[in-house]
Structures are given as structure tokens and as C-alpha cells.
């Protein structure tokens, strides 16, 4: 379990840490806003995004026995926790954090970056991840596809 924790930590620092932390910080480092309401909303969104991501990593490690890294993906299909509401809550968490940066700094550049990140993630999900998961998990994944939306969470998750 320690090795799995370290692999998840390393991936988190490298991938979402860069995408939703380092790059937006680099874009905004000289454009700080002093409008407290925007700072509060931005920090809240970043916190919510981080919490979503960490919850998903926990489910990947404890239930799926893997990491978010495609080269060390979960061994079991994770359809619990936030994955009951949307097929991609981890990406939703990262994109929520990016929205927080854009709001906190009133940054059109971070907003544009976030939109580009969404397009890239969407293409990755549609062109690689979903076909790969269909091959690996077969009918279990097909059932999950039919019951759970790709991006926007549903309030009434299907029981699995």
C-alpha cells in the first residue's frame, strides 16, 4: 500500500499538480486581484477541485488498486464514490480548480487555458480512454457508460 501511495503522490505532483497548480500560478503570478469576493470564490473552487481529485485518487487506490496514470490504471473498474455521478470526476475536479484560478485572478488567460485543457481532456477521454476501458472491462464498462454521464453529474446515480 505504501508503494501505491507513493505512485499516486508522484503522479499527482507531476500531472494535475502541473496542469492545475504550476501552470495557472505561472500565468497569474503578476496579476493578483485584491477583490476579496473573487479571491474567496477562487480559493473555494480550487479547494473543491482538489477535494474531488483526492477523493477519486483514494477510490482508485483503495478500490481499483491503481493510480490515475494510464500506465498504472486501476485493476478494477471504479464505479463508486463520485464515479456514480459522472464518469470523469477527476477531470471535473482539475477543471474546477482551473476555474478557481481564473476567478481568483480575474484571468482571461487562465480561462482560455482551462478551455484548452477541457478540449484536450475531452479528446483524450473520447479517443483513448473510453475505447481502452471498453476493451479492458467489456460489458461492465458498457453498462456503466449507459448509466452514467460523461461530464455533468447526475443527481440520481444508477445503483451498481
Which residues have CB under 8 Å from 144's CB, separation 6+? Answer: 77, 79, 87, 137, 160
- pLDDT of 160 higher than 60: no
pTM for the model stands at: 0.92
How many whole angstroms from its chain centre is CA 42?
17
What is the rounded CA–CA span in Å between residue 41 and residue 74? 33
What is the rounded CA–CA span in Å between residue 23 and residue 11? 16
Q: Are 14 and 70 in contact (CB under 8 A)?
A: no
Domains and CATH numbers, the chain: 2-147 (1.20.120.1630)
What is the rounded CA–CA span in Å between residue 8 and residue 3? 9
Higher pLDDT, 2 or 45: 45
How many whole angstroms from its chain centre is CA 1?
22
Closest Cα to residue 21, out of 88, 86, 104, 81? 104
- pLDDT of 159 higher than 70: no
Quick one: which H or E segment has residue 66? Answer: none
What pLDDT does residue 158 have? 62
SS3 33: coil
- pLDDT of 107 higher than 80: yes
pLDDT tens-place string over residues 67-102: 999 889 999 999 999 999 999 999 999 999 999 999
SS3 149: coil
pLDDT tens-place string over residues 31-52: 677 789 999 999 999 999 999 9
Amino acid at each position: 500500500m505504501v508503494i501505491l501511495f507513493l505512485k499516486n503522490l508522484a503522479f499527482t505532483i507531476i500531472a494535475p499538480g502541473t496542469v492545475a497548480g504550476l501552470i495557472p500560478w505561472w500565468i497569474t503570478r503578476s496579476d493578483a486581484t485584491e477583490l476579496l469576493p473573487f479571491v474567496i470564490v477562487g480559493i473555494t473552487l480550487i479547494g473543491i477541485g482538489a477535494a474531488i481529485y483526492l477523493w477519486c485518487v483514494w477510490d482508485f487506490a483503495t478500490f481499483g488498486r491503481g493510480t490515475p496514470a494510464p500506465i498504472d490504471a486501476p485493476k478494477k473498474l471504479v464505479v463508486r464514490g463520485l464515479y456514480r455521478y459522472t464518469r470523469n470526476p477527476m477531470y471535473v475536479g482539475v477543471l474546477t480548480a482551473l476555474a478557481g484560478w481564473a476567478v481568483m485572478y480575474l484571468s482571461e488567460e487562465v480561462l482560455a487555458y482551462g478551455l484548452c485543457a477541457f478540449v484536450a481532456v475531452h479528446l483524450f477521454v473520447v479517443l483513448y480512454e473510453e475505447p481502452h476501458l471498453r476493451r479492458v472491462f467489456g460489458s461492465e464498462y458498457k453498462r456503466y457508460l449507459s448509466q452514467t454521464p460523461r461530464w455533468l453529474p447526475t443527481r440520481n446515480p444508477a445503483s451498481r
